Amino acid sequence: MDRRYDIADVLTGRRSWRWLRVFVEHLPPESHTMTALRNSLSAEELASQAERGEPERARWSQAEQLLAAVLDATRRVEWVLLCANIEQKSKRPDPPEPMRRPGAGPRSVKRAQLTEASAGTLFQLINGGAA
């Protein structure tokens, strides 16, 4: 059912500011307004929402949450199948990352640190040393 509301009625007094707040809070998660609100969250706000772990309070609909869960399960089954059919443990792929949910920032990637020993080896390789 498509209802047409004029939010300018708030300025004329036909509707209250409370009505406008409730109207915005109950917009569908895929609406432009909710997408803009979700995209405007700071890194601190994303981190606090991720710590609380309340996906039901996120700006996604229930169908979107379920679809993300199905995608994560499918990726994990595919990963397990690959791992079960690879002979050498060293060639196993990394486990899949779950699909990002609203209120969760990107995972921090752990970067390799260059040690003195690896820097020396790299220097030798660059200069045509240990080939």
* pTM for the predicted model, two decimal places: 0.45
% residues pLDDT > 90 (the chain): 17
Mean per-residue pLDDT for 84-111? 74
> Residue 105: its pLDDT value, please?
55
Neighbours of 60 (CB within 10 A): 19
Mean per-residue pLDDT for 8-19? 91
Mean per-residue pLDDT for 35-64? 70
Q: Is 104 exposed, middle or buried (0-12, 13-18, 19+ CB in 10 A)?
A: middle
More confident residue, 14 or 110: 14
Q: Residue ranges of the alpha helices (H) in the chain?
A: 9-12, 17-25, 32-39, 43-52, 62-84, 116-126
Q: How far is CA 25 from the centre of its chain?
A: 21
Q: Which residues of 65-96 are buried (b: 16+ CB within 10 A; e: fewer)?
A: beebeeeeeeeeeeeeeeeeeeeeeeeeeeee
Q: Two tokens at 27? A: 């917009």
Q: Which of 3-12, 68-77, 89-98 has the highest mean pLDDT?
A: 68-77
